[in-house]
């Protein structure tokens, strides 16, 4: 079994529909990068989690109730390293972890991934445009990205 970790994203459903109320994590993040990562994860992996600076590892069915603006690497981030460690230990056992997250997430993830097989298929991307292009091309071709072990 493979599990994919994807970034949350700044743009959320409440930015577009303030009256949205409680929504599943899979519906909360509406930015282009998040949506492409989610589509990729749903197509090519057995399970995925959304990594949030406020909530930590979110299951797609977890409910979110309100908008927020927190970023990894900033003082506004509210999820602690201890909470991430506890949540990581509760992830389903897997053969590989596929990271579609960027460098801002690495500092928080690295301590958790020391004994895991980790693939970073986007590590050679040259920016957001290239990332979006690679994800869409893989989805269209129904072929996973070349996987880079790191």
Residues 6 or more apart whose CB falls under 8 angstroms from that of 54 comprise: 68, 70, 77, 78, 79
Q: Which residue has the higher pLDDT, 53 or 49?
A: 49
pLDDT at 149 over 70: no
What does the domain layout of the chain look like in residue ranges? 2-141
The CATH architecture one would assign to domain 2-141 is 3-Layer(aba) Sandwich (3.40)
- Per the CB < 8 A criterion, the answer to whether 14 and 66 are in contact is yes
Long-range CB contacts for residues 12-16, cutoff 8 Å, separation at least 24: 12/67, 12/68, 14/66, 14/67, 15/67
| Per-residue confidence (pLDDT) for residue 76, from 0 to 100 | 64
Confidence of residue 42 (pLDDT cuts 50, 70, 90): very high
CA angle 62, 68, 73 (to 5 degrees): 100
Q: 67-115, pLDDT tens digit by residue? A: 998 887 666 668 888 999 999 999 998 899 999 998 888 878 988 998 8
């Amino acid at each position: 079994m493979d599990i994919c970790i994807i970034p949350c994203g700044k743009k959320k459903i409440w930015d577009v529909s303030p009256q949205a109320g409680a929504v599943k994590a899979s519906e909360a993040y509406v930015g282009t990068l998040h949506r492409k990562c989610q589509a990729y994860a749903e197509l090519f992996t057995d399970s995925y989690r959304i990594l949030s600076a406020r909530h930590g590892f979110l299951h797609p069915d977890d409910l979110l109730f309100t908008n927020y603006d927190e970023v990894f690497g900033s003082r506004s981030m509210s999820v602690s390293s201890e909470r991430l460690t506890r949540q990581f230990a509760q992830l389903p056992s897997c053969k590989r972890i596929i990271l579609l997250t960027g460098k801002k997430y690495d500092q928080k993830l690295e301590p958790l991934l020391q004994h895991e097989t980790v693939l970073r298929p986007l590590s050679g991307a040259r920016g957001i445009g290239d990332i979006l292009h690679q994800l869409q091309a893989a989805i269209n071709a129904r072929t996973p990205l070349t996987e880079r072990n790191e």
